[in-house]
Structure 1
Amino acid sequence: MPLYEHVMIARQDLSNSQAEGLIEHFGAVLSDNGGKLVDNEYWGVKTMAYKINKNRKGHYAFLRSDAPASAVQEMERLMRLHDDVMRVLTIKVDEHAEGPSVQMQKRDERDNRRERR
């Protein structure tokens, strides 16, 4: 099955447990349609570059899935209809990266750039 990565932004006035409940809910939607949620990360509340629906901040979540296209389409459809979800981004990838995403890594671990002169 194809591999996908999803980033979801939920409203800022939700609690952390409600935002993590959304991740579980949409993971269940995937599994009901023949896919599976490989990994998920809750990135927390972050400030956005611009307002979305009068919100400056949002709960960010990252999902990795292994699912058929029909399951992903159904999950995206339900995400777009859900009142608490503001934005969704889904991309198809060749393989999932091992370990935590760049957002979850410490700055020292990901800062392997050369020094400027």
Structure 2
Amino acid sequence: MPLYEHVMIARQDLSNAQAEGLIDHFSTVLADNGGKVVEHEYWGVKTMAYKINKNRKGHYAFLKSDAPAAAVQEMERLMRLHDDVMRVLTIKVEKHAEGPSVQMQKRDERERGDRGDRGDRGDRPEGERGERRERSFGGDRRR
């Protein structure tokens, strides 16, 4: 059977349990039509780039499925009819990536406080900041 990945955005005023209940509901829709959800992730409430139906935020969910095309079409049809679901994206993939998605990896890094972009700051003596370039703000102003 073909492999698919789905991302769903639900309304922000749902509780976490209700949003995860939507994942279970649509998983059973796939199962009833001959498919199965291989893995699912609840990404939580995230801020969107623009408003959708007067909502700035939404509950994001990610599903990996192994299902026939008819089952996926039925699930998408029901998602689009559901009042709590704002957006759906389905992509057909050759194979599912192993391990957690990139979104879950980012969440793990934030929870641990791991900041890979700062580098090692322990090699400089305290108070020493390094050389700074002189900046020009136009005209003859000096700092």
TM-score under structure 1 length normalisation: 0.91
In percent, how many aligned pairs have the same letter?
Answer: 83
Structure 1 residues 101-116: aligned runs within 5 Å? 101-105=101-105, 106-107=108-109
The gaps in structure 2 that reach 5 residues or longer are 120-143
One-letter amino acid of the structure 2 residue matched with residue 47 of structure 1:
T
Which amino acid in the other structure matches residue 29 of structure 2?
Answer: V
Q: Deviations over 1:44-68 (max 9, x none)?
A: 0000000000000000000000000
2:96 is aligned to 96
Q: Which residue of 1 aligns with 2:26?
A: 26
Would you tell me which structure has more strand in proportion to its own residues? 1
Q: CA deviation at 1:112?
A: 8.2
Q: Please identify runs of 4+ aligned residues in structure 1 that moved more than 2 A.
A: none
Paired letter, 2:6: H
Opposite residue 102 of structure 1, the aligned amino acid is: V
Shift of 1:3: 0.1
- 1:22: how far off? 0.1
Partners of 1:76 and 1:45 in 2: how far apart? 21
1:39 maps to which residue? 39
Which residues in structure 2 correspond to 1:49-68 (within 5 Å)?
49-68=49-68
How far apart are 1:107 and its partner, in Å? 3.9
Whole-angstrom distance in 1 between the partners of 2:37 and 2:61 = 13
Of structures 1 and 2, the one scoring higher in RCO (CA 8 A, sep 6+) is 1
Please, what is the CA RMSD of the aligned residues? 1.7
CA distance in 1, matches of 2:4, 2:21: 20
